[in-house]
Structure 1
């Protein structure tokens, strides 16, 4: 294995198992000592005590630690534990940790490779423990172990550690069919969301949106926001707004903590829809309030804060408040450079480049745009990638080099079609028509302008229709 760092095992259990937790840690230490010099696969145990301090719901920080782990061991004996206060209605922290691990298991890009559940012998286990075990047995949802005593725990865990060596170098995503005690089908909803987003990325927009729609019908805030983003990109702004409102209602009703990154993202997503509806002043107020929900000292919250600062800067820029826009963009860029978030540094550079275009500093704008395009070339298609290509084409058009802008606009059009962004498609078509017109390719310019008109009509975007029609009129003259 290329990476010789220890593989992380998150240890989840209710509070009645201190001796068993100690036994698991000792077993892992013994395994590492026994294999030293024979194998470069070692393990380290992490648990709730390793979670970073945060002002938000503690379980969220614990869940992020699970997201950084390669394996999860869940132990149940007599006690089920106390409620964690999450949006899915989990009835214990250990249950939420188990299902968070199962969610991570199904995500290709996450390190989680396997989840091992062990039921330790107890004369009267909690009813929910009995039901979980019965469900796993009845539906064959996943393998679990029955543990007789401490010696049995050590023997079976050692066998598991040996088996996990084969999973050290690669990951095969697995989707598990299991219901939490709340009865909400969290795993199916999340899997539909992931499948829908991937289908859209692969250019299967209709199938992807169908999956996201079903996920939102049974899911929570994350599923509502994923559906809202897809509908906003497609130009269905009323449906997108309604989906963001359903996400917000989780926090209004106190089903989830209001001061949390997910709540901030829900309000920011609604502000994004308001921006697309031309209600930038309303969006600015919503975004400013969303920032107050975040703890600036929390690493994950800082990422969400930067995304909101991006949107805030764009809203200020649209109404001409350029200094406020620059301030928001620069705050996000500074934070991203500090945390070495290289991909999202590109987002900040795109935003600042657009600002420079607005004030006429085309040389600086071109420098930012070229850096972003060269960084993102060869990466999977994304909205950021498409926006960078649009920006590079716009700068060349303004510099009087429209023929050089055409290839960038063509790539932007292809990317936006692949990620099913009709708004991005309309922008790319208009830009492509403008570049072709300026480069003396009138026939192609007309084709792109007519296509732009049709896309904007389908979205009900009157402003976009007017721009496309104006360009067609100019071409006719």
Structure 2
């Protein structure tokens, strides 16, 4: 059943459609009142006025509100709107809001269900409004409506609300082919990135690399960081460093606001590459720099801040500084508990559990992992759930209880297969092989290790291959 909370409609429009905005809000209110008691689906309309003050570019805060919305209604009449600034060269805030909604529409994990564009009749619309409508018509990229007057707007929006009710409980990602007025291929770059990331997860490393590389050429920091992640995972640390530097240069050149979550993620990504290169002290400094780019009072930046605190804790743990690591993990956990995000809290508990393993407190580590498993039990499978099961298996190994570790490793393997996470599947197989070897079952251990080696080879994961080859060498001896 669909959540009883209202589905959010973001209303995007220039300043010349004030009356039409009132019609949209009134139509939604009327629809909710008419359907009350007959349906558990209702809607709420939000817009730029819902955004709190921020030190960042205001349009970025508006875009974050769109990312939390289920639908976008975009109205154009005569005006195009004013330029918002930013990296993609959008020439109006409404245009950026429309394309942000289309980007969200293509992402399976985001709530965006549909984007509706309405062109209201006017004798002399701005040329950019005309050009957008012509492009949508020529490319058949998405449906739009021609609106004669307010009565027509009310009727057609009501029909749209009815159709949305039928799809409210599901998300089908859609990729739209449309160019903004800047001519930059925003949507194509994002779609290539999503396609590349999915291909990598499915074990098609080479095809995924090509898509991610093209996305990085066409796109901006998000695409460059995605390509850097692939490069680092597959052993090209020099290339990964260069890709993160490309993203950093974007912000240092002034193309986008430096004090922003995305800029912080760019610096943190480079710090992650430094860690992989064995330059942990340099990485710690870069992570600390990344944190200075975030406003602690900006709630929308808290997720990024917590992720960086996690990475900083792992870096301290790597150099044996367990107390600073603990402080970073606990700071992240405290922030996540304040916002009440159970899944994010579970991530912090996993980090603390790994720290306890390093500190030799296996009982506390097991308690954290069991807590995560209990929290996530009955929820849709995600990688964090699989990570908790892997950690439990590793704890049981350290406790000389490999037979007790086997069921956890097998559950992790099943979960990773359900979510098509090939990297997680390879790790689960490796830990399962370790458990079987420690329990005195070398043939079972070799079977799982060779399956893990095959997956790591298909993905081009050199680090994973070396681990498995070491285990196979032990089996040979």
Within a 5 Å distance, the mapping from 1:7-406 to structure 2 comes to 7-37=7-37, 39-376=39-376, 384-406=384-406
* 1: CA distance, partners of 2:187 / 2:279: 36
The CA deviation at 1:411 is 5.9
SS at match of 1:421: helix
Give deviations 1:242-277, integer Å, cap 9, x for gaps.
Answer: 222222222122111111111111111111111111
Question: Which of the residues 401, 421, 425 maps onto 1:419?
Answer: 421
**Cα contact 1:236–1:459 (8 A) shared by 2:** no
* 2: CA distance, partners of 1:288 / 1:434: 36
**Cα contact 2:429–2:448 (8 A) shared by 1:** no
**Cα contact 1:382–1:419 (8 A) shared by 2:** no
**Cα contact 2:442–2:475 (8 A) shared by 1:** no
Give deviations 1:362-396, integer Å, cap 9, x for gaps.
Answer: 11112112333454567666653454344223222
* 2: CA distance, partners of 1:100 / 1:427: 37
Give deviations 1:340-374, integer Å, cap 9, x for gaps.
Answer: 21112222111111211222211111211233345
Q: Which of 366-375 and 131-140 deviates more?
A: 366-375
* 2: CA distance, partners of 1:134 / 1:369: 56
Q: 5+ residue gaps in structure 2?
A: none
The CA deviation at 1:203 is 4.3
* 1: CA distance, partners of 2:470 / 2:189: 42
* 2: CA distance, partners of 1:145 / 1:357: 59
* 2: CA distance, partners of 1:362 / 1:225: 35
| 1:297/1:445 CA distance change after superposition, 3 Å | same
Aligned length: 473
Aligned to 1:438: 438
The CA deviation at 1:30 is 3.3
| 1:397/1:136 CA distance change after superposition, 3 Å | same
SS at match of 1:305: helix
The CA deviation at 1:78 is 2.1
The CA deviation at 1:412 is 5.6
* 2: CA distance, partners of 1:167 / 1:42: 13
Give deviations 1:49-95, integer Å, cap 9, x for gaps.
Answer: 01233222211221122122222111112221122223222111100
The CA deviation at 1:460 is 6.0
SS at match of 1:171: coil
* 2: CA distance, partners of 1:143 / 1:426: 44
SS at match of 2:400: coil
Q: Which of 228-237 and 412-421 deviates more?
A: 412-421
Q: Which of 213-222 and 302-311 deviates more?
A: 213-222
SS at match of 2:9: strand
**Cα contact 1:88–1:182 (8 A) shared by 2:** yes
**Cα contact 1:452–1:468 (8 A) shared by 2:** no
The CA deviation at 1:167 is 3.0
**Cα contact 1:234–1:420 (8 A) shared by 2:** no
Give deviations 1:118-169, integer Å, cap 9, x for gaps.
Answer: 2223333222112111101111112222233333333333333344333334
| 1:10/1:434 CA distance change after superposition, 3 Å | closer
| 1:444/1:236 CA distance change after superposition, 3 Å | farther
TM-score scaled by structure 1? 0.87
Q: 5+ residue gaps in structure 1?
A: none
* 2: CA distance, partners of 1:154 / 1:387: 49
Q: Which of 226-235 and 350-359 deviates more?
A: 226-235
| 1:425/1:378 CA distance change after superposition, 3 Å | farther
Q: Which of 255-264 and 465-474 deviates more?
A: 465-474
**Cα contact 2:142–2:176 (8 A) shared by 1:** yes
